[in-house]
Structure 1
Amino acid sequence: MYIAQARNYPGLEKVVYNVGLCICLYDITKLEDSYIFPGDGASHTKVHFRYVVFHPFLDEILVGEIKGCSLEGVRVSLGFFDDILIPPESLQQPAKFDEAEQVWVWEYETEEGAHDLYMDAGEEIRFRVVDETFIDTSPTGPSSAQPSTSGAADEAQKKEAPYTLVGSISEPGLGLLSWWTNS
């Protein structure tokens, strides 16, 4: 995490496009003069402040918890941020998806034979951040085109995450913490 210079950015726990997830106010650095405009009873004050922002660097290694698995990959949560996906091609190989258990399995080869290492929900996982995506979800004005009668397209757009991370565990030391510790 780093402290970003924030000015005129929206509030707490909001994603600011190309900046990151705003966690909390760090400090107020400057207050300017207050003004009351004609016809408006509110006081307007320009405030300069800094925010604590979550925006991991590419190639940074993080530890999270597996939320769930699907054919799309492994979903990971950091507790305060849930939009992390490890796609199938970024898992330890060879990997397969177990339809019955709804988990990904690493088929680990040893001299004694193959062992199936399951990626169960709730397990801690160490991963490398390999990509990030920001999507501008700010409201748009009405379009001049015909209004759409299908609410499904609007629903899909509303549910799209404004900030997502893509992870990888395809190298030694990454993956479930239980794979690499003697406990």
Structure 2
Amino acid sequence: MFQLAQIKRMVRVPPWLFGDTLNNAVADELNRKLANKVVLDVGLCIALFDIISLKDSYIFPGDGASHTHVTFRFIVFRPFMEEILEGTIKGASAEGIQVTLGFFDEIFIRKDSMMTDTHYDETEKTWVWNYQTDDANHQLFMDIVIEEKFTDTTPSNPNEKKKEEEKPQNVAPYVIYGSIVDDGLGMVSWWTTPEETEEMAEEMDASES
């Protein structure tokens, strides 16, 4: 899920950071520019891991900042093919399921990537897997985590509201599509004993408290 990506880049250090060491100033600039950003063919950048090398710094005419060629490694989120991830269902629609890892929400499981005999329940607004055993048919629901809702009490200008509605919707720069068609995938509770499920619930409660 997490990888170390080696990157080379020219880093600009502004004059007000000259009082710090070059290594610290470059590290601050790299984290400021890359952390929580998606880099093409690299992934979602999380944090700087280390700086491998710093070459000579230059100051160009008309710019008081220094410019340094840097080779560094960054921790990035970039799952590999067939990797198994564990997340929480954030939403569901007739098109599929959205899963969140907490720090990353753009994970989608489309309806054609679910188990056979799975359908969307319009009443419950969730997906259901009809699991057939020798003696009965079991409906296994893919439960959604209910989030707290709030009402914005700040007075708003009708003209500003209209402008907000006219703004184009943001397009996610990084999207992952998953699959739950194989055994062992889907809801964790489907493949664990009641004792294991209870133990996992206690661990989650302890981590949230």
- The structure whose residues are more often strand, as a share, is 1
SS of the equivalent of 1:155 reads coil
Q: CA deviation at 1:46?
A: 2.1
Whether 1:39 aligns to 2:62 is yes
How far apart are residue 80 of structure 1 and its match? 1.4
Return the index of the structure with the highest Cα Rg: 2
SS at match of 2:123: coil
Cα distance between partner residues in 2 of 1:18 and 1:94: 36
CA distance in 1, matches of 2:34, 2:65: 19
- State the alpha-carbon separation in 2 of the partners of residues 31 and 170 from structure 1: 48
Superposition deviation, residue 122 in structure 1: 2.9
The amino acid across from 1:155 in the alignment is P
Residue pairs, 1:78-89, within 5 angstroms: 78-89=101-112
* Counterpart for residue 147 of structure 1: none
CA RMSD of aligned residues (A): 2.2
**Matching of residue 94 in structure 1 with residue 135 in structure 2:** no
Name the CA distance, whole Å, in 1 between partners of 2:63 and 2:180.
56
Code of the residue aligned with 1:165 in structure 2: it is I
Q: How does 1:40-119 map to 2 (within 5 A)?
A: 40-119=63-142
1:177 to 155, 172, 188: 188
After TM superposition, the runs of 4+ consecutive aligned structure 1 residues lying more than 4 A away are: 151-154
| Percentage of pairs with the same residue | 51
Deviations 1:46-66 (A, max 9, x none): 222110111111111111111
- After TM superposition, give the deviation of residue 152 of structure 1 in Å: 8.5
Do the aligned partners of 1:26 and 1:52 also contact (CA within 8 Å) in 2? yes
CA shift, 1:39, in A, is 2.0
> Whose RCO is larger (CA < 8 A, sep 6+)?
1
Task: Summarize the Cα distance change of 1:15–1:105 in structure 2 as closer, same or farther, 3 Å threshold.
Answer: same
Change beyond 3 A, Cα 1:3–1:41: same
Alignment match, 1:164? 175
Gaps of 5+ in 1: 124-150
* Cα-to-partner distance string for 1:15-51 (whole Å, 9 max, x where unaligned): 1112111111000111122222222222222222110
Q: Is it true that 1:25 corresponds to 2:25 in the alignment? A: no
> Can you give the 5+ residue segments of structure 2 that lack an aligned partner in the other structure?
10-29, 147-163, 195-209
SS in 1 for 2:189: helix
More helix as a share of residues: 2
